[in-house]
Structure 1
Amino acid sequence: MTRIAIVTDSTAYLSNDYIETNQITVVPLSVNFGSDTRREGVEIHTREFWDMLPGVKELPTTSQPAVGEFVQAFEKLLQTHDSIIGIFISSGLSGTFNAAKTASGMVEGDITVIDSKLTSYPLEAMVGEAVTMRDEGKSKEEIIDRIQYIVDNQTAYFIVDSLEHLHKGGRISGVSALVGSLLQVKPVLYVTKEGKLDVFDKVRTRRKALDRILDLFREDKAANAGKPVHLAVIYSNNLDDAKEFQERIGNEFPDVNPELSELGPVIGTHVGPGILAIAYYFG
């Protein structure tokens, strides 16, 4: 049987047990507190990050892995595997995918890298499906086709407590951040097909923003009637809110079994605490 290695980055937020059990290689991004740089999932973990954040004077920044880290990981894996599938955070949100792509051209071997166009739960789900198919003995081409299907058919909508983190991190325009601050608008944000953040709609309250998100999901679900739904409620240091939203979705859509997915240090740096989102795909 052809041995296929699966590689991802730390923003998939996989548990250590899952990583070890399924032999996944994770190349971490980093969070920078001034000159103090810590690798996500290695030198800083989710709970520690959220505990630290209120006490920092300046918002932390993030950095992608160096090309050399991917070269090293790929070369090591190809000593024991026939091929590699790498699935990474959206190139519209981070330079991680491009670094992995560059590294794949520097290493001799069968390496395919995929831009997930998202992060967090969708990236986790892609890795999970790749693992399942690998363990079922599916070919590399079959796995890649399935992952690309998810990339092309995924959707994510979310709201944040404050646009400050997105604005300071350069992930949203200054005008949008200013409007949100002055008018107390709660924008419904989404990730475009190109994998970049944008404003989908603007509503006046958090409750109405959540209503709008569920209306959008309802429309998509009707358009994909009969297909299985893969959906998660994504949150950042607001588990009670996430559970309440999860319960609401479960009550309104009895055939949907929403998962919970917490953002860690790198994505948390850019969105801040209090995010609520749904990410999903059908089929």
Structure 2
Amino acid sequence: MTNVKIVTDSAASLSPSTIQNSHITIIDLPVFINGKFYGSVNNISSDKFLHLLANCSSQPVIGPANVNDLTKLYDKLGSDGSQIISIHLSSALSPTFKTAQSAAQASVSDVLVIDSKATSSGLAYQVTKIAEHIQSGYPVELIAQGLTNLRCKTKTYFSVANSDQLINRQLISRFRGAIERKLKTSYIYQFTNNNFNLMMRSRSCQSIENFWHNQIQKMHNENIVKLTVLHAGETQWANLIQEVLANEFPFITIESRITKPEMASYMGLESTGITYLLG
């Protein structure tokens, strides 16, 4: 049986034990401030990156993966005859998927590159499932086919109170963003079909709370098997959501983590996300 190895992004919300036990290779991306190299995402904690995002006059920028470096990585991992599954953060959020495609074409190894079409937690769900299927001896083609169903069963919602990165990422226009910033507008997005869909914008905290209340009621009619809360430093709101979810779904283990730099650079500060997987 051919050995299969996994390559993915640091954006995946994976525990160190999962990375080690499943022999997952994490791509390291450069971080620039004022056009100068500052460090790499694998060596900058999420807390540190959020501090930079909040306090630097010139916001940190995560650079793309290097095609040549990624090609060499694939060549090295496949030198023993192993196949490689390289799965990445949604192509709508990061250029790494396209870079990986170019690197795979240049590599002498057998590499299957997959667009997870998911945010951090959704990517983690897919990587975990890939690792399970590899352990069970599934062929690469069958593993890839199974991910389509997993994506359909993954639901992701974000609440965002700080619009700076939404403006930078052109999810909202600069003109509208400037006005709504003064009005202290908050936003609710759903990530689906590889895109962010605006569900609500409101100046009222009560309206945002009502949305989450209604969403949680809908979740009671779904067969949820995994639930993850990610936040960009907004611990009070994240803790409140986790507490509510724990009371509503006492038999489901709920993970709560600070978001990785790749997602923080997209959604910005004061954002909280919920991702859950249906059985």
Equivalent residue, structure 2, for 1:274: 270
What is the SS of the residue equivalent to 1:259? strand
What is the SS of the residue equivalent to 2:128? helix
254 and 17 in structure 1: CA distance in 2 versus 1, 3 angstrom threshold: closer
State whether residues 72 and 107 of structure 2, in contact with CA within 8 Å, keep that contact through their aligned partners in structure 1: no
State whether residues 29 and 266 of structure 1, in contact with CA within 8 Å, keep that contact through their aligned partners in structure 2: no
What is the SS of the residue equivalent to 2:190? strand
CA distance in 2, matches of 1:128, 1:185: 36
Q: Give the letter for the 1:123 counterpart.
A: L
Cα deviation digits, residues 154-210 of structure 1 (max 9, x gap): 2211112210122124444335523532433322112230x2333122233345324
Q: Give the letter for the 1:272 counterpart.
A: G
30 and 145 in structure 1: CA distance in 2 versus 1, 3 angstrom threshold: same
State whether residues 5 and 81 of structure 1, in contact with CA within 8 Å, keep that contact through their aligned partners in structure 2: no
Tell me how large the CA RMSD over aligned residues is: 2.2
Equivalent residue, structure 1, for 2:22: 22
1:60-75 map, 5 Å: 60-75=60-75
CA distance in 2, matches of 1:221, 1:107: 47
Q: List, as ranges, runs of 4+ consecutive aligned residues in structure 1 with deviation greater than 4 Å.
A: none
Q: Equivalent of 1:259, from 248, 255, 258?
A: 255
By how many angstroms is 1:117 displaced? 1.3
Equivalent residue, structure 1, for 2:95: 95
Q: What is the count of residue pairs matched by the alignment?
A: 278
Cα deviation digits, residues 44-103 of structure 1 (max 9, x gap): 222322344443112222222022222111111111243111110111111110111122
Is the aligned partner of 1:134 residue 2:134?
A: yes
1:1-283 map, 5 Å: 1-34=1-34, 35-42=36-43, 44-193=44-193, 195-219=194-218, 221-222=220-221, 224=222, 227-283=223-279
Q: Give the letter for the 2:198 counterpart.
A: V
Cα deviation digits, residues 28-56 of structure 1 (max 9, x gap): 233211113421013x2223223444431
Q: Give the letter for the 1:275 counterpart.
A: S
Q: TM-score, normalised by structure 1?
A: 0.88
State whether residues 30 and 37 of structure 2, in contact with CA within 8 Å, keep that contact through their aligned partners in structure 1: no
State whether residues 31 and 266 of structure 1, in contact with CA within 8 Å, keep that contact through their aligned partners in structure 2: no
CA distance in 2, matches of 1:17, 1:5: 16
What is the SS of the residue equivalent to 1:105? helix
State whether residues 121 and 261 of structure 1, in contact with CA within 8 Å, keep that contact through their aligned partners in structure 2: no
**Which ranges in structure 2 are unaligned for 5 or more consecutive residues?**
none
